[in-house]
Amino acid sequence: MERDIQEVLLSEEQIQARIKELGEILTEEYRDKNPIILGVLKGVAIFYADMIRQIKVPCQMDFMCISSYKGTSSTGNTNIRLDLAADIRGRHVLILEDIYDTGNSLTYLVNYLKMKEPASLKICTLLDKPEGRKPGVTLKADYVGFTIPKAFVVGYGLDYNEAYRNLPYVGILKPEVYT
**Which of 83, 87, 98, 101 does the annotation list as catalytic?**
101
Minimum gap (Å) between residue 154 Cβ and ligand IMP: 6
171 binds, among Mg ion, ligand IMP, none (CB under 5 to 8 A by kind): none
Q: What is the footprint of ligand IMP within residues 147-166 (CB under 6 A)?
A: 152-154, 158
89 class by beta-carbon count within 10 Å (0-12 exposed, 13-18 middle, 19+ buried): exposed
Minimum gap (Å) between residue 105 Cβ and Mg ion: 9
59 class by beta-carbon count within 10 Å (0-12 exposed, 13-18 middle, 19+ buried): middle
Return d(Cα 111, Cα 116) in angstroms, integer: 9
Applying CB under 5 A, does 155 fall inside the site for Mg ion? no
Applying CB under 6 A, does 39 fall inside the site for ligand IMP? no
Phi-psi sector, 88: left (phi>0), alpha (psi -120 to 50), beta: alpha
Size of the residue set binding Mg ion (CB under 5 A): 1
Q: Which stretch binds ligand IMP (CB under 6 A): 46-54, 91-99, 113-121, 139-147?
A: 91-99
Applying CB under 5 A, does 43 fall inside the site for Mg ion? yes
Query: Closest CB to Mg ion among 127 and 144?
Result: 127
Query: Closest CB to Mg ion among 81 and 114?
Result: 81
Q: In terms of C-beta distances under 8 Å and separation of at least 24 residues, what long-range contacts does 62-66 make, across chains too?
A: 62/36, 62/37, 62/38, 62/86, 63/38, 63/39, 64/38, 64/39, 64/40, 64/109, 65/40, 65/41, 66/40, 66/105, 66/108, 66/109
131 class by beta-carbon count within 10 Å (0-12 exposed, 13-18 middle, 19+ buried): exposed
Draw the binding track, 93-132, toward ligand IMP (x: CB under 6 A; -: no contact).
Answer: ----xxxxxxxxxx--------------------------
101 is catalytic: yes
Residues that bind ligand IMP (CB under 6 A): 43, 68-69, 74, 97-106, 152-154, 158
Return residues touching Mg ion (CB under 5 A). 43
